Structure 1
Amino acid sequence: MATPKFLGSRMAELRRKRNMTQAQLASKIKKSTSTVAMWEIGKRDPDSQMIIKLSSIFDVSTDYLLGRTNDPDDGLKYSYWENGSSNEKFSKIENYRKIERFARKVSSEDLEKAVKILDAAFEHAFNGDDDDDDDDDI
């Protein structure tokens, strides 16, 4: 298992990347700010369930949090391959993760525009919008 200081430094790094204060993280996980601070400086360790919860909040693998890998997605990829998932299923999961990362980076206004574009594309693709019947004759 990773040293407490390594886990703590990863937590602090991920929290800062998301412009989150210790108090905000503490509130989100229903712990005190001092508990989060103690984890980050390596004085205490979160339990295994909390590590799983933190990995979900930060959208990284538990292996990344624990210092077993430098790839934030590495443990996630391994667990899907381990369970015998197909390439297609794994590819879909990776695409969802890309969409989630995109959504975190753009403004709310741009995200709303993207949703409208996707809505129109899905409407056209899946609801039989036949305005383009002439294209079938080509």
Structure 2
Amino acid sequence: MNEKQPTDIFQQRLKDARTLRGLNQAELAGKAGLPAASVSHFESGPRKPSFDNLKALASALDVTTDYLLGRSDTPEASAETIGRLHRDLGKLTEQDLKLATDFLDLLVQRKTKGSE
């Protein structure tokens, strides 16, 4: 089995996001308020970030924590929109939820057809 482990995914995503933003390790560390050696350790694997450090890295890189953790493949996913969806979900009626689900299905199908 050649499946990547979550730690491997995080290491690669952190490096990819840093490169995407045109930052070296020291610059990312400065933006995230971390010691420069921390970013190096996170990318090479001997250390894993705390929850607070993970949030600081995601914020400094303008990506979601889900992207860094391998739960999303889109670095630019809007955390604000995702947060609003979770926050307002309980305000929707069953009929509204069905409509929202149908709309999301339509968007996913449209994206899938566009990438073929």
TM-score, reference length from structure 1: 0.53
Give the number of aligned pairs.
Answer: 85
8 Å CA contact 1:64–1:71 kept in 2: the answer is: yes
CA distances 1:26-72 after superposition (whole Å, capped 9, x unpaired): 22233332221110122211110111111111111111111111122
Q: Please state how far the C-alpha of 1:76 moved relative to its aligned partner.
A: 4.8
Give 2:85's match in structure 1, choosing from 81, 85, 88: 81
Cross-structure match for 2:65? 62
1:71 is paired with a residue whose SS is coil
What amino acid maps onto 2:83 in structure 1?
S
Whichever of the two has the greater Rg, that structure is: 1
Structure 1 runs of 4+ with >4 Å offset? none
CA distances 1:55-109 after superposition (whole Å, capped 9, x unpaired): 11111111111111112216553322111189xxxxxxxxxxxxxxxxxxxxxxx
For residues 66 and 74 of structure 1, what CA distance do their matches in structure 2 show?
A: 16
Matched, 1:48 2:60: no
8 Å CA contact 1:39–1:46 kept in 2: the answer is: yes
8 Å CA contact 1:63–1:69 kept in 2: the answer is: yes
For residues 42 and 4 of structure 1, what CA distance do their matches in structure 2 show?
A: 7
Give 2:39's match in structure 1, choosing from 17, 36, 39: 36
Aligned alpha-carbon RMSD (Å): 2.3
TM-score, reference length from structure 2: 0.62
Gaps of 5+ in 1: 87-138
Bigger RCO of structures 1 and 2 (CA < 8 A, at least 6 apart): 2
For residues 42 and 50 of structure 1, what CA distance do their matches in structure 2 show?
A: 15
For residues 22 and 53 of structure 2, what CA distance do their matches in structure 1 show?
A: 20
